[in-house]
A and B are shown apart, each in its own frame.
Chain A
Amino acid sequence: MCLAVPTKIISIENDMAQVEIGGVTRKASIQLVPEARVGDYILLHAGFAIEVLNEEEALETLEILEQIGETP
């Protein structure tokens, strides 16, 4: 029920941002994530950013996944 896509904020004006994925850009409202900054990755759903993706957690998750992969 939730198609949301990770996109990068490339500019912000008031409560609207320009976000980008694969070179494609679109407008997104940051009404729901006022703390978002240029350079952040956000989840885009129905024209709104619904969360700022946490880079540290992402890296940790990838490490955990690699470790699961290593365990014989």
Chain B
Amino acid sequence: MKHLDEYRNPELAKKIISSIKAESDQEMRLMEVCGTHTVAIFRSGIKNILPDNISLISGPGCPVCVTPNQEIDMAIEIAKSDDVILTTFGDMIRVPGSFSSLEKERANGADIRVIYSSLDALNIARQNPDKKVVLLGIGFETTSPTIAGAILSAKNVNNFFVLSSHKLIPPAMKMLLEVGEVKIDGFICPGHVSTIIGSKAYEFIPQEYGVPCVIAGFEPLDILQSILMLIKQIKEGNPRVEIGYKRAVRPEGNTTALNILNEVFEVCDTRWRGLGVVPLSGLAISDKYSQYDARKIFDVKVESENEPKGCLCGEVLRGIKIPLECNFFAKSCTPDNPIGPCMVSSEGTCSAYFKYGGDRLEC
């Protein structure tokens, strides 16, 4: 498959790994911000094959994992109404809220449907004019323009609503640097978020914090190349933002997508599981499109949320603990019976450690 297979060449991978081993001569801690990178690093075996002096830390780039319980609780309350069809991306269906999950509520009779695209949700609205169709909007900058696109396409549809829980990545990276809990020598920046926001969005990181950034694609060679680029930047002492994923990322990003995003959404403060309130890191539907805003249409009360005691998802998301350090990991908390979202999300750090054998790896 074009633009995929070429970046999976094992012979080339082995050579790049040799270069990495030759070049890296100091301890370095690199954070892969994006959950999709975490999974790719595990699945490809890169996690096991890097030299010991390079540590990879997983960051908060898992939109499912950073959704606070209260958002899920709200979606559940909305879904319980008889005249509501709640639509969601598959990622969210098994995530535990304070008391239940969308999967369990579906079993209880709520009309909850998994969709692949926001346009599918819009179609469901057109086909069910007597119901209110609510799309649970999660995801970072890769996904939020697609939700904005659906809203713009919903001109004569009066029963389509979005419950926006969308978030922005650079403010979260800023917060991690500000809080300074974990030493980060370099960021592996999320490839597809960057497709939308471009490389300029990260420039404050080397400029204000002196931390190198490389925007990476998701195939093994992309990730290995980016690690090598970070090593070189660290050795040169000249931190900057580099694009490894050049075939998909432009410095200015996708301006059409950004314009659509800015048309439909406005930036707001929002709470992230594990990080607390991160200033200017959320997206709310702007007044011009408030007729699609589920938060304005539905008046649901949710109880103050109930995060499970002892669950280390927050610390894992901030990169200061690894899943193995959580008492629940692989015992009472497994992908089949998750306590926190990091275990149930397909790209949660705990899920990756569990599925791909992190407890057997020396990381």
Report A-B touching, CB under 8 Å: yes
A62 and B244 CA atoms in complex are apart in Å by 11
* Nearest CB in chain A: distance from B275 CB, A: 15
Given contacts A32-B254, A47-B120, A58-B247, A2 and B225 within 8 Å (CB-CB):
no
Nearest 9 A/B pairs, CB to CB: A47-B117, A2-B192, A6-B3, A69-B15, A58-B247, A57-B246, A2-B142, A48-B146, A32-B257
Asked whether, in the complex, the Cβ of A33 is within 8 Å of the Cβ of B256, the reply is yes
- Interface extent on A, as a size class? 35 or more
A1 and B341 CA atoms in complex are apart in Å by 14
Q: Check B6 for interface membership: any CB of A closer than 8 A.
A: yes
Closest to B222 in A: A61
Residues from chain A with Cβ under 8 Å of B152 in the complex? 31
Asked whether, in the complex, the Cβ of A54 is within 8 Å of the Cβ of B246, the reply is yes
| B residues whose Cβ falls under 8 Å from a Cβ of A | 1-4, 6-7, 11-12, 15-16, 19, 34-36, 61-63, 89, 116-120, 139-140, 142-143, 145-146, 149, 152-153, 190-193, 195-196, 218, 221, 225, 228, 244, 246-249, 254, 256-257, 260, 347
- Chain A at the B interface: mostly helix, strand, loop or mixed? mixed
Asked whether, in the complex, the Cβ of B256 is within 8 Å of the Cβ of A32, the reply is yes
Q: Which of A5, A22, A46, A58 contacts B143 (CB 8 A)?
A: A46
Query: Which residue of A21, A32, A41, A70 has the most chain B CB atoms within 10 A of its CB atom?
Result: A32
Asked whether, in the complex, the Cβ of A1 is within 8 Å of the Cβ of B139, the reply is yes
* Nearest CB in chain A: distance from B294 CB, A: 18
A45 and B195 CA atoms in complex are apart in Å by 11
Residues from chain A with Cβ under 8 Å of B225 in the complex? 61, 64-65, 68
